[in-house]
Amino acid sequence: MGGVSDERLDLVNERDEVVGQILRTDPALRWERVRVVNAFLRNSQGQLWIPRRSPSKSLFPNALDVSVGGAVQSGETYEEAFRREAREELNVEIDALSWRPLASFSPFQTTLSSFMCVYELRSDATPIFNPNDISGGEWLTPEHLLARIAAGEAAKGDLAELVRRCYREEE
């Protein structure tokens, strides 16, 4: 299994149609031209399990993050990437839990970074996470998480917008 350095990603056009491939390490990579998956692990009290990225991450080290996230590799579907990332990051087989797709977004219709599908996993169990990806995590309500980000706590770029779009009603 290859590492992040040699991941081949599909390049997509403005309609999320595959038009080529690119290596993740290629300096020409533009995130709005690739696909990613994100997922929130939600418990029965409505709290989200929010991990802290490991200090060795090249992007957003030590920042708060979605429960599961990653790039869709070349030839993968969004759901296949979600299954793989949940297994790699949280040691979870998604079919052992209740899960559902929450939303799909385009970087051309939002301020989000990439084409993405967002999923929700339901469980009251704190996951046994991969320490190469995650240094820790905690259960937070969407409101508490957004307040911490607003107060200046480091967070992955799309986290606050995803929480607002997926868990807060329009104000």
Cα 62 from Cα 136, distance rounded (Å): 10
Q: Is 89 annotated as a binding residue?
A: yes
SS (H, E, C) 90-143: HCCCHHHCEEEEEEEECCCCCCCCCEEEEEEEECCCCCCCCCCCEEEEEEECHH
Question: What is the separation of C-alpha 34 from the centre of its chain, rounded to a whole number of angstroms?
Answer: 13
Cα 82 from Cα 68, distance rounded (Å): 8
Q: Which is nearest to 20 in space by CA: 10, 30, 29?
A: 10
Q: Is 120 annotated as a binding residue?
A: no
In the annotated binding site for Mg(2+), the residues are 85, 89
In the annotated binding site, the residues are 85, 89
